[in-house]
Amino acid sequence: MTSADYVLGLADDALVSAQRMGWWISRAPQLEEDLALANIGLDQLGQARSLLSYAGTMLDRTEDDLAYLRDDREFRNVWLVERPQTDFGVTMARLLLFSAWQRELYAALVTSSDATLAGIAGKAVKEVAYHLDHASQWVIRLGDGTDESHSRMQAALDAEWPYLDELFEGAPELRPAVLARIEQVVAEATLAVPEVAPVVGGGRHGLHTEHLGYLLAEMQHLHRSHPGATW
Amino acid sequence: MTTAAWKIAADLPDPELPVVTIADLGILREVTEDDQGRVHVQITPTYSGCPAMETISADLVEALTQAGYQRVDVEFVLSPAWTTDWMTEEAKAKLEAYGVAPPGPVALALSVKCPQCGSLDTRESSRFGSTACKSLWVCRACREPFDHFKAI
């Protein structure tokens, strides 16, 4: 049987990533990219809503309760998605790692014996394929670009790489396919696969970096200040 | 499938692409009614985060209630996942006339035909367009930008 904690982990990854994507709205380097990042965030928000609603059926809570009324220690997302992403290179490096993992994960969950989870995964896997493609194109363009864009893309990849490991907690079998996909993009981008030690993240157990608290304060304050507000 | 309630639901325009109905798009999945005047409607989102679902749901309740049905339930179903292959040929023709390049068959990378001048000499300028279900293209022949309904 699927545990509520497991579903919350997937839901919170998508929700927190969506919130970080939202930061880019009106700030992206060009209009097309502004729309792209907003739409990627919207897809992730949609996945998060389906997953939170499903977790809510096991916990007898609504999706809004789970999104707005939990504190950071109750969130189950990985550290990869919760840190600030105000650098475009970091945003693309992170999206490459995250969507490559989500792609393999959702593709595997499509055949899950849990019909609800399989249904959510069947929708999400198609959306995530677009995210992965988008991130791949930017990493290749910036990596195989000017000296400046190459060095900044490499620095971004080096910064995100330590957080890759936490994604495989509980599902190490996904690692070979995810790494193969990422390394293919990294090679085409003329970048080097970082040789950095992994960070031991504790997101799946409710242990987070300081950044999640600030993100939640912004995301939750309206709902908490005005419970039940609608417009 | 052609009950009175189905016909009412099937006639509803999509809020973001009002030239096509929700039945044309394949969003409307099932409508069941009983002899007590209760209607149960199943709709499926094109994309998980499609913001039009709330509007479509409200439109369904309003249209069916006005037609005299006492109770209307709208259920969102995710499985099987929506695909552009469910879009009717009529819907694709309406989209093209509206200026949105319709999707081709999934898993075929065909060139996208410009809905303005019909040229196949087009290029994608962004994978993501004005809504989650569309991408942005530019025609090299007539130089007009246009939306393309992504095949998924």
Helical segments of chain A, H only: 4-22, 31-59, 63-68, 79-82, 88-109, 115-143, 147-160, 175-188, 210-225
Tell me where in chain B the CATH 3.30.300.130 domain(s) lie: 4-76
d(CA B107, CA B73): 35
Cβ proximity of B95 and B149 under 8 Å: yes
Cβ proximity of A118 and A109 under 8 Å: yes
SS3 state at B112: coil
At how many degrees (to 10) do helices A31-59 and A115-143 cross?
150
> Which residues in chain B have Cβ-Cβ distances shorter than 8 Å to A39?
128-129, 131-132
Q: CATH says B4-76 is which class?
A: alpha beta
Give pLDDT tens digits along chain A (231 positions).
Answer: 789 999 999 999 999 999 999 999 999 988 889 999 999 999 999 999 999 999 999 999 999 999 999 999 999 999 999 999 999 999 999 999 999 999 999 999 999 999 999 999 999 999 999 999 999 999 999 999 999 999 999 999 999 999 999 999 989 999 999 999 999 999 999 999 999 999 989 999 999 999 999 999 999 999 999 987 776
Q: What's the gap in Å between the CA of A45 and the closest CA on chain B?
A: 6
Which residues numbered 119-138 in B keep a CB inside 8 Å of some CB on A?
125-132, 136
The CATH architecture annotation of domain A4-225 reads: Up-down Bundle (1.20)
pTM above 0.90, yes or no: no
Interface touch A43/B49, C-beta < 8 Å = yes
Query: Nearest by CB to B132, which of A42, A50, A118?
Result: A42
Say which range, B11-25, B65-79, B116-130, has the weakest mean pLDDT.
Answer: B116-130
Domain range annotation of chain A: 4-225
Give the torsion sign (CA, A126, A127, A133, A139). Answer: negative
> Which residues in chain A have Cβ-Cβ distances shorter than 8 Å to B51?
42
What pLDDT is stored for residue B108 in this prediction? 54
Query: Nearest by CB to A130, which of B79, B127, B131?
Result: B127
Interface touch A50/B48, C-beta < 8 Å = yes
Asked if the interface predicted TM-score (ipTM) of this complex is over 0.95, the answer is: no
Touching check for B103 and chain A: CB below 8 Å?
Answer: no
How many C-alpha atoms does B134 have within 13 Å on its Cβ side? 18
Interface touch B81/A36, C-beta < 8 Å = no
Interface touch B129/A134, C-beta < 8 Å = no
Q: What's the gap in Å between the CA of A199 and the closest CA on chain B?
A: 32
What pLDDT is stored for residue A182 in this prediction? 98
What pLDDT is stored for residue B109 in this prediction? 56
* Residue B70 in tokens: 């006492």
